[in-house]
């Protein structure tokens, strides 16, 4: 992520089968929301022709895409070694 560019994004590679949450890098989160992260709020995730609603949760690792992310994994068939590319608009591209 380059804070000097107009592009706010991150790439996440899954190192486990059936991931249940995604850590949101703190720098990415603070660029979006500032220092008051919207824990408990939801984001909409769009991919291809799908729409999911996923809750932003507080975790020991930091902010995560939590409740609802399992449905994203299930519907998309995400597995170990797959990755997500997340952009500021929260459009998520899934690649196997």
pTM of the full predicted structure?
0.76
Domains of the chain and CATH, by start = 10-95 (2.40.330.10)
Closest CA to 24 of 7, 43, 6: 43
The tens-digit pLDDT sequence of the chain (96 residues) is 444 555 678 888 988 887 889 999 998 888 888 899 989 999 888 877 889 999 999 999 899 999 999 999 899 888 889 988 887 764 454 444
For residue 1, the model assigns a pLDDT of 44
Is the CB of residue 29 less than 8 Å from the CB of residue 38? no
For residue 85, the model assigns a pLDDT of 82
In the chain, the N- to C-terminal Cα span, in Å, equals: 22
For residue 53, the model assigns a pLDDT of 93
3-class SS of residue 91: strand
Is the CB of residue 26 less than 8 Å from the CB of residue 62? yes
């Amino acid at each position: 992520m380059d804070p000097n560019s107009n592009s706010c994004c991150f790439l996440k590679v899954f190192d486990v089968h059936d991931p249940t949450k995604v850590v949101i890098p703190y720098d990415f989160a603070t660029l979006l929301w500032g220092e008051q992260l919207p824990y408990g709020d939801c984001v909409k995730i769009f991919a291809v022709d799908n729409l999911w609603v996923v809750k932003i949760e507080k975790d020991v690792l930091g902010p995560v895409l939590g409740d609802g992310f399992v449905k994203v994994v299930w519907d998309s068939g995400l597995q170990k070694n797959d990755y997500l590319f997340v952009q500021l608009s929260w459009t998520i591209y899934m690649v196997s």
